[in-house]
Structures are given as structure tokens and as C-alpha cells.
Amino acid sequence: KDLFTKLANVEQGHLNTLSKLEAGEIPSMGGAKQETPSSFKETYGMGDTEDKKADCYLCNDTLTMEKHASSVYDTAVFEFTQAGMRDVLNHIQKEEQEHGKQIYDYMTANNMYS
């Protein structure tokens, strides 16, 4: 729940940034780096509980979406003509990749990724 809450807050920022781009404004992305957990502690053991299955489903679904979003941003970076917009989209793409890494790390720590 904590991981998804953190990711949701960053995703809300992405939506706000994209809304600014759509309005013709190129926002400054600044140098702030998102807080990344260095590692996750095992929440579930090797066995499958209903909670673990539900978490695994949510993580798989979210990881798939992060991969797709990163791919879409990658394509957009190549297709936008304004360097400032490309920089913004590249910044968002890097954050999407980091989200995927965090989800993967959580899944690996909990024996959910094979």
C-alpha cells in the first residue's frame, strides 16, 4: 500500500505536468529526484495466501502498465520537435522506469516474480 501511494503521488505530478504541456507551457522539471527505497523486506513467505495473490495480481498489472507507459514516453521523446518538451517527457519516462524497478524489487523480495 505504501509503495502504491508513493507511486500514485508521482503519477499525479505527471498528469499535472502533461496538462501544462497541453496548455502550451513547458514546466521546469527541476533537479529533485524521487525517493527510492533501497530494498524491500519480505512481507510474504514462500506460500501463497489470498493477500499475496492479490498483491501479486496488482503488482503484475501495475508493472505491465509502467512498461507500456515508459514505451509510449520513449516514442514521444523521438517525435516531439521542441527540445524543452522532449526533456520533460524524458524526465517522466525515467520516473516511469524507476517505478517499474521499485515494483519489480518488491515482487522479487516477496517471491512474486518468476
pLDDT above 60 for 2: yes
Q: What is the 3-state secondary structure (H, E, C) of the chain?
A: CHHHHHHHHHHHHHHHHHHHHHCCCCCCCCCCCCCCCCCCCCCCCCCCCHHHHHHHHHHHHHHHHHHHHHHHHHHHHHHCCCHHHHHHHHHHHHHHHHHHHHHHHHHHHCCCCC
Question: Which tens digits make up the pLDDT trace of 61-86?
Answer: 999 999 999 999 999 999 999 999 99
pLDDT tens digits for range 32-53: 555 666 677 777 777 789 999 9
- Examine the pLDDT at 22 and tell me if it is beyond 90: yes
Q: What's the pTM?
A: 0.84
